[in-house]
A and B are shown apart, each in its own frame.
Chain A
């Protein structure tokens, strides 16, 4: 599903920062994988490159047999909309949209006319059927993150990326989110790559890739 070869990312500046020093990894379809490591190890940077939110300095990223780095800006945007789901640490919901609108909006932009029903179904799946007409400001952090997860699934993505989705959540909400990832992975065969810094989250995933100083340290 995902094949990364020798990925390098350097942030320019007076003193350029080498965030990824040549990462190579493979993730199979239907896997639930965690990227772990200390702060500054490069795990979020790696996820940004795989989620096409940023461009690496060198290397290759193949998702679903497509060399995504060879795509134009517009094609990458389209690919992101059509094939990738992304869950941010800070939910990144659109404040002006209700929960339901946040979820069905990416599908609406894709021209999907049945998006509303599917969005309602996804909100039901994440346990927020009663909150679908609420705005993000009226919801708790855990609820907002579940809305973000439902949104990431609306276009049936090939891969779901989650960048420290439980960092701002309490223990109970964190468990709800990881249980949800497990459920999606088991029931929908959803490929999920999640960044987390909590070692106890290992129990929810199939495989853990440890990063250290911009390189893969080990796999468990």
Chain B
């Protein structure tokens, strides 16, 4: 196709749009704007859902990176000299903060009515230094009763709402509504039994953290007969400064004997949920693109059929079919681009401000539309490619018709 052919096709497209019925042009652009809005909104909402779940997991349970004890060649129970290990990790640029965890497990016994009728529940227990923990995870921001103090006494415990019971949906294995100030008895795996006063109750519904309990590091060390070690070190990083893979490489280079995991490794059942949402997002996006393509096809086809006479005349005076087809592709490209702009305006100037003003609460926080540059590019490219194909095919069909039939019907 020569430059003259392109110029000719552009001229036909320009004049057809400019002199076309304003209301028809406006309607086509409006419908394409809605198609693009639909594509963006559904994919953005589902991405926001997945993103919200993962953000919630990172903030409340896993941080970005989890450093665990040596696994090979022999498996060790603890990271030794955890203060030194944390200090080394914190020298890596972009690392925001770290916190050591001791992981224990125990059987809880709670006599709510003080009548000798105990309820027994087994649950994981995490030993943390509360002041450090607050710099890495946001459990302290999710308290529904009591508090998450900077210093937790050795005889105090903080329970997740799914463990305590009494806050929302009843769990099959909760304590039946434990209350701050009440006492619970915990029997650890090594046989040690302690009685703790409940200092606070937090509620986190994403992941398993809501069914755990926190005690102080000193208490955990006393139970485990250890000092300055850790079962795991949670690392919070700034992902705008470096990639997760690079942070892991840096940690492994300075601590080669330790093992690292990412939050993705810890998603478990939540990961299945996130994956399911991602698959749903892809399916819905494909359906939206197909719907948008059919919409463009129908509109361009109707438009092309209504211009059969014009197409016939163009062919009669010697205009090549390829020029006519290109002119219709240009027209649908024009509609698709304006549809993209229109849909983007609806999303960014109407829906996002609306969601900001009237948030829709979700288990992980407020619903939000999440987009990546690649995602936006794919959506735009999809609609534009759909527009080009949906413009080309009807133009090809109509341009193939006999000249006389096109002119006189």
Which residue numbers of A lie inside 8 Å of B, CB to CB? 48, 53-54, 74, 77-82, 84, 86, 88, 92-97, 101, 105-106, 108-111, 135, 151, 155
Contact = CB atoms under 8 A, between A and B. Distances in A.
B407 A48 contact: no
Contact of A108 (B7, B309, B320): B7
A81 B4 CA distance: 14
Given A96-B16, A96-B19, A135-B19, A105 B316 contact: no
B318 interface: yes
Interface of B: 2, 4-5, 7-8, 11, 15-16, 18-20, 309-310, 312-321, 323, 402-404, 407
A47 to B, nearest CB: 11
A101 B402 CA distance: 25
Contacts of B323: 109
A135 B20 CA distance: 13
A80 B2 CA distance: 18
B389 to A, nearest CB: 23
Q: List the 7 closest pairs (A to B, CB-CB), nearest first.
A: A81-B318, A96-B19, A111-B4, A80-B318, A96-B15, A109-B8, A92-B313
Contacts of B16: 96
A78 B318 contact: yes
A109 B319 contact: yes
A84 B16 CA distance: 25
Given A48-B404, A54-B404, A109-B4, A151 B317 contact: yes
Given A97-B15, A105-B11, A108-B11, A81 B403 contact: no
Contact of A80 (B7, B313, B316): B316
A101 B18 CA distance: 14
Contacts of B402: 54
Given A96-B19, A135-B19, A86 B310 contact: no
Contacts of A53: 316, 403-404
B15 A86 contact: no
Contact of A81 (B7, B20, B312, B319): B319
Contacts of B315: 77
B403 A95 contact: no
B314 A96 contact: no
Q: Chain A CB within 10 Å — which of B309, B310, B318 has the most?
A: B318
A111 B403 contact: no
Contacts of A135: 19
Contacts of A92: 309, 312-313, 316, 407
B2 A111 contact: yes
A95 B310 contact: yes
A77 B319 CA distance: 7
B2 A88 contact: no
Contacts of A84: 318
A79 B2 CA distance: 17
24 contacts: A53-B403, A54-B402, A77-B321, A78-B320, A79-B318, A81-B317, A81-B319, A88-B316, A92-B309, A92-B312, A92-B313, A95-B310, A96-B15, A96-B19, A97-B15, A101-B15, A105-B8, A105-B11, A105-B317, A106-B319, A108-B8, A109-B5, A109-B323, A155-B318
A138 to B, nearest CB: 12
Given A80-B317, A81-B317, A108-B7, A96 B407 contact: no
Nearest to A97: B15
B334 to A, nearest CB: 15
Contacts of B20: 96
A78 B319 CA distance: 8
Contact of B316 (A86, A96, A97): A86
B245 to A, nearest CB: 55
Nearest to B405: A54
A54 B19 contact: no
A126 B94 CA distance: 79
Contacts of B8: 105, 108-109
A82 to B, nearest CB: 7
A45 B242 CA distance: 75
A95 B309 CA distance: 10
A180 to B, nearest CB: 19
Q: Chain B CB within 10 Å — which of A77, A78, A84 has the most?
A: A77
A105 B14 CA distance: 13
A154 B319 CA distance: 14
Nearest to B318: A81
B342 to A, nearest CB: 24
